[in-house]
Amino acid sequence: MLNNYLDISPEVRAALDAGKPVVALESTIISHGMPYPQNVETALNVEQLVRDSGAVPATIAIIKGRLKAGLTRDEIDYLGKTGHGIPKASRRDLPVLVAQGRDGACTVTTTMIIASLAGISVFATGGIGGVHRGAETTMDISADLEELAHTPVMVICAGAKSILDLGLTLEYLETHGVPVIGYGTEELPAFYTRKSGFGVDYRLDTPEELAKAFHVQQQLGLGGGMLVTNPIPEEYSMDPAVINGAITRAVEEAKQLGIHGKETTPFLLAKIKDLTGGDSLDSNIQLVYNNARLAAKTAVALCALEKG
């Protein structure tokens, strides 16, 4: 049983047993997505925002071979300080990391897997992986999309960065039956900017509407996840010309250096940060906060529905 490998923290366990709202949070963003100490500071602030909005945070990681739902401050600090020394863990990495008692920073994929095992339905993050530009020859498609197709967790993100081919990412999600919802928007947000030029499937405007759509999806037995895309607040959004220029340069450099496999996404993210200075980091932090608040409110609404 996979459950034999799972540790749910006392606070998360108490909330789940009492039918109270819980929000899952990932750890690749801590170890690989931001520099220390901003990564630890952000992770702790996100947990506080979730609490302030009425839910219990469950940051998810693999520590010494144990699947953890709910971390201590010391564990979050360890993941942030160790940074790239913590292996980025997607679905295919779980068996060996767990067998060898190693650590793992959970991507959207592994956070969904562990959240689902723990009984957590709502997950907040920054951005998801998707179909990369040039995937028609590289076949670089994030395992996040496959997980969304199969695992019943709602993922609330700020859309996807245009390091990806957003059009192909939407096609893939459509083929696999994953609903793509715009929160208060008809357009897919592109992480640092509120617009991408691509439409979403449906626009929903309240946490209650999100909760109801997810509840119905599960009750119908359709399985799989739901992707909620929440635009970055206007005041933190970036100039599209600046950010797209940096993305184009980063993608070109990755190609020249022959970066591939699991290194591609972290390389591109780090390069964009270098090219745009602190601005993109600040935007990144703010959009995660925005998603955490929405996730907490949605988890509250979902609990009310499940009780009623």
Among 47, 77, 93, 144, binds ligand PSU (CB under 6 A): 144
Q: Which helix (H) or strand (E) holds 151?
A: none
Query: In the beta sheet, which residues pair with residue 190?
Result: 159, 193
Question: How many helices (DSSP H) and strands (DSSP E) are in the chain?
Answer: 13, 11
Please work out the total of residues on this chain that contact ligand PSU, with binding judged by CB under 6 A: 19
**To the nearest whole angstrom, how small is the minimum distance from the Cβ of residue 125 to ligand PSU?**
7
Is 64 tagged catalytic? Answer: no
**Contact by Cβ (8 Å): 130, 160:** yes
Nearer to Mn ion, 164 or 296 (CB): 164
| Burial environment of residue 277 by CB neighbours within 10 A (0 to 12, 13 to 18, 19 or more) | exposed
Among 161, 262, 271, 273, the active-site one is 161
Does residue 108 bind ligand PSU (CB under 6 A)? yes
**To the nearest whole angstrom, how small is the minimum distance from the Cβ of residue 105 to ligand PSU?**
8
Does residue 126 bind ligand PSU (CB under 6 A)? yes
Does residue 104 bind ligand PSU (CB under 6 A)? no
Among 77, 140, 144, 147, binds Mn ion (CB under 5 A): 140
Is 26 tagged catalytic? Answer: yes
Among 8, 15, 26, 169, binds ligand PSU (CB under 6 A): 26
Q: Which helix (H) or strand (E) holds 224?
A: none
Among 9, 28, 42, 59, binds ligand PSU (CB under 6 A): 28
**Contact by Cβ (8 Å): 156, 295:** yes
Does residue 143 bind ligand PSU (CB under 6 A)? yes
Distances (CA, A) of 42 to 163, 171, 234, 273: 23, 32, 20, 16
Does residue 103 bind Mn ion (CB under 5 A)? no
Helices (H), 106-202: 108-118, 135-138, 143-150, 166-175
Nearer to ligand PSU, 125 or 298 (CB): 125
Does residue 161 bind ligand PSU (CB under 6 A)? yes
**Contact by Cβ (8 Å): 126, 144:** no
Q: Judged by CB under 6 A, which stretch of 37-45, 124-132, 209-217, 244-252 contacts ligand PSU? A: 124-132
**Contact by Cβ (8 Å): 89, 104:** yes
**Contact by Cβ (8 Å): 308, 218:** no
What are the φ/ψ torsions at residue 6 (nearest 5 degrees)?
A: -100, 130
Among 26, 47, 262, 273, the active-site one is 26
Active site residues: 26, 161
Binding site for ligand PSU (CB under 6 A): 26, 28-29, 33, 90, 107-108, 126-129, 142-144, 161, 191, 262, 265, 269
